[in-house]
Structure 1
Amino acid sequence: MNSKFRNIFLCFGILAVIIMLFSFDMKYDELWNNLKRAGAYLPLVLVLWLIIYFVNAASWFLIIKDGKRSPISFLKVYKFTISGFALNYVTPVGLMGGEPYRIMELTPYLGVERATSSVILFVMMHISSHFCFWLTSVFIYVLLFPVGWFMAIVLGLITTLCLLLIILFIKGYRHGMAVAFVRLCSKIPYLKKHAVHFADKHKDKLETIDQQIALMHKQRKSTFYGALSLEFVARVASCVEVWLIMNILTTDVSFVDCVLIVAFSSLLANLFFFMPMQLGGREGGFALAVGGLSLSGAYGVYTALITRVREMFWIVVGLALMKVGNKKKSNIDDSR
């Protein structure tokens, strides 16, 4: 990637972090006391996400390789994964920062079509794993907890929504998503003119990207399901974070409880996708999810606080990694 664009991404990330620090809804002495209360669990949470990002990177690397020899090392993909998620955290509407960054970093290695298709596929796997995780959590709740009429309606709506989105994504896997996304943008006011111009100018590239997406779903089943499985494992592994934090406060919470807390809090937080770091939605989601399991809502607020600190730590690490190990590729690679 051109260093100018990398610096733009970096400056945007730093500005967002500064804004978040000044808008933190807690006094810093109170925050410090809560962090001291976490003790050794906080470093464990930070290391845990080093592992989770490793699993995410392995999923993306599997897509990039696609059964062949990869033109880029796993460590580079690992670095781009952490930096990409850091940009996603600080960007309103979630995926508007990290994914362009990943595409631009990968382009010198894979070319623009392969770089774009691999990033789109990785994002689709990442999102699809959330749907699978939420559906699994619904079944767990039904099996382990009594379901009243209100909860039955909520779980029914969640199941219906997830199934509809899964069907939509399956269609996207079979036929590609690039052209469909541009068509959708062409129907949105203010974007229509730009989307139509972009579609006309890059029609061949968009069709090539869609062909590559459909090809992996049709002919590379092991790659497809392997990447999806790794993303699902990452979702389950993220529940260990909540289990560790909850053990600071109580020993009455099982790992299954933590799976349900993460599932329902992440579902609510994603409804506030337009907020950087899902501010407000994450805290409210944790409080409601914990309350739904007959635990103190304060547990959810404390869990959200430690989670927010962990996110801030990895945002800083991800932004710093953007300036590390950026060797210039050869002119042959840059021309693709």
Structure 2
Amino acid sequence: MVRVPVRGVRRCPRRRRRRHAIPERHRACGQRGGARVRGCPERRDGGDPGRRVSRRLQALLFVVGSAVFAYLVARIGVAALLADARRTGWMFVPILLLYGAVCACNAGAWWLVMAGEPSRPPFWRAWAITVASFSLNYMTPLVNVGGEPFKIAAVAPWLGLRRAAGSAVIYQMLHTLGMLLSCLTAVVLGLILLPHAPVIVALLAGAFLVLAALTLLVLTGHRRGMLASALDLLHRMPLLGRLARRLEPKRATLASMDEQITQFYHASPRRFLQALTLEYASRCLFMAEYLLIAMSVGLDIGYARAYVIGGLAQLVQNALFVVPFEAGTKESALYLLFQLLGLDPALGVYTAIVSRVRDLAWIGVGVGLVWLSGRRRVASAGAATP
């Protein structure tokens, strides 16, 4: 007598009595039950897939990240790294701590982006996710294969997968806007401090115009959204039509994310400015690294020249983003900039080496934080609310 009704439940019959009884008794208030009825597809909440994806992604990225980190250390050489660290001396400690403070500003900006959500991770966990994602981005520099997907999966248990993706897109736009404003500042300082040769002035003026146009474009994206419009643009581009057709089923999701982007800008303008200020402050703080490196060898270059060096070197590296791991581009840019400022160009190469040592140290920290940053205890599910 019991077996027949159980079969009926497994086959999901269309009789009204069965269809209404089960959901009402086992899924009160939209919560998931402890068991799943076979044969009946179950629509999952956004948080659960995020937690599951995060665990799998953590394991994969931890293994890959450890392998790449070991490769970079072996390629440069342990002896060379130790020699550079000894030359820098105790100044290497504040250089390392400075980058941690830079990441704290970045994490604070992202945390403000998530402040409008029903729940968000604690700040220290957002910082750990930020460090881990930046490290993974460095190890996959061309297309950010590791960092952004990891960041989305890591906060999905709090925000749900779609809202987590939206927060990552908003933050990336803010991050880009902060970078553009920082590069504009460096270009203006370069026009003042660099030699006024016609070629240099023309290059800096052209860079200023391009950066200003890109800044307006990103601001327009914050005001009006840009994902659905970007999909329309892909449809009109001959070589990218196939990609556009593959993304077309996601148009509703992109439109929803556009709404999330514009809502952050229009509904919370104060929070938007605070987050952008933190992003710009992180860039200003990062430029002090060049000042500290110069001080470690007894040279006082001043903060303004350090900003020109750091900002224009970053501009060159972003323009040549196709070069994996910035191989040679950082050293060449710093060599030339030190020479143009009347400094020993060899110090530019040394600065690049110390910067790479700092990169490697924080990559190691970031890979270690892959495990910590993506784990969420059930007890802390509502620990951090806006």
CA displacement, residues 88-147 of structure 1 (integer Å, 9 cap, x when unaligned): 111131533211111111112111222111111111111111111111122223334552
> Is structure 2 residue 81 aligned with structure 1 residue 31?
yes
Contact 1:94–1:273 (8 Å) recurs in 2: no
CA displacement, residues 12-32 of structure 1 (integer Å, 9 cap, x when unaligned): 2223223323433xx543432
TM-score (norm 1): 0.90
Partner of 2:133: 84
Distance change >3 Å, CA 20–CA 275, structure 1 → 2: farther
CA displacement, residues 252-303 of structure 1 (integer Å, 9 cap, x when unaligned): 4111110000011111111222344322212222112212211111111111
* Shift in Å, 1:192: 4.2
* Shift in Å, 1:213: 0.3
The structure whose Rg is larger is: 2
Partner of 1:306: 354
Distance 2:184 2:100 in 1: 26
Aligned partner letter, 1:234? S
Partner of 2:287: 239
Which structure 2 residues correspond to residues 169-248 of structure 1 after superposition, within 5 A? 169-183=218-232, 187=237, 189=239, 192-200=241-249, 202-248=250-296
Partner of 1:265: 313
Q: How many residues align?
A: 327
Which structure 2 residues correspond to residues 1-336 of structure 1 after superposition, within 5 A? 1-2=51-52, 3-24=55-76, 28-66=78-116, 70-93=119-142, 95-183=144-232, 187=237, 189=239, 192-200=241-249, 202-324=250-372, 326-327=375-376
Aligned partner letter, 1:305? I
Aligned partner letter, 1:46? L
SS of match in other structure, 2:376: coil
CA displacement, residues 144-165 of structure 1 (integer Å, 9 cap, x when unaligned): 4552211110111110110111
Distance change >3 Å, CA 218–CA 141, structure 1 → 2: same
Q: Pairwise CA RMSD of aligned residues?
A: 2.3
* Shift in Å, 1:183: 4.5
Contact 1:265–1:286 (8 Å) recurs in 2: yes
SS of match in other structure, 2:145: helix
* Shift in Å, 1:175: 2.1
Distance change >3 Å, CA 142–CA 43, structure 1 → 2: same
Contact 2:193–2:341 (8 Å) recurs in 1: no
Distance 1:275 1:102 in 2: 24
Distance 1:93 1:284 in 2: 19
Q: Percent identity?
A: 26
* Shift in Å, 1:182: 4.0
Distance change >3 Å, CA 304–CA 150, structure 1 → 2: same
CA displacement, residues 180-206 of structure 1 (integer Å, 9 cap, x when unaligned): 4444555474x6435423321x22221
Distance change >3 Å, CA 35–CA 135, structure 1 → 2: same
Distance 1:93 1:214 in 2: 28
Aligned partner letter, 1:310? R
Return 5+ residue gaps in structure 1 as ranges: none
Aligned partner letter, 2:376? K
Return 5+ residue gaps in structure 2 as ranges: 1-50
Distance 2:224 2:349 in 1: 42
Contact 1:63–1:227 (8 Å) recurs in 2: yes
Distance 2:321 2:143 in 1: 6
Distance change >3 Å, CA 139–CA 102, structure 1 → 2: same
Aligned partner letter, 2:199? F
* Shift in Å, 1:223: 1.2
Partner of 2:16: none
Contact 1:239–1:259 (8 Å) recurs in 2: yes
Distance 2:349 2:101 in 1: 25
